[in-house]
């Protein structure tokens, strides 16, 4: 999931609040939604 909006506060960098928020959101998603979110996140490129 694209959780790296602010590089200093992200699940990727290990921020505890971001990790918790990511896990809560993921728990409400279907496996298909998670797969789509991962696909979109990996395809994302900054402008």
User: Would you state the structure tokens that stand for residue 23, as one six-digit string?
Assistant: 């896990």
Cβ neighbours, 10 Å, residue 2: 14
Tens of pLDDT, residues 1-47: 444 444 455 666 678 888 888 889 999 999 999 999 999 988 988 88
The reported pLDDT for the residue numbered 6 is: 44
The reported pLDDT for the residue numbered 16 is: 84
The reported pLDDT for the residue numbered 1 is: 47
Whether pTM > 0.75 for this model: the answer is: no
Please list the residues that pair with 9 across neighbouring strands: 6
DSSP string, 11-28: TTTT-HHHHHHHHHHHHT
């Amino acid at each position: 999931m694209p959780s790296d909006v602010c590089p200093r506060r992200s699940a990727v960098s290990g921020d505890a609040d971001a990790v918790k928020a990511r896990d809560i959101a993921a728990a409400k998603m279907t496996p298909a939604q998670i797969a789509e979110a991962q696909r979109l996140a990996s395809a994302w490129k900054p402008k």
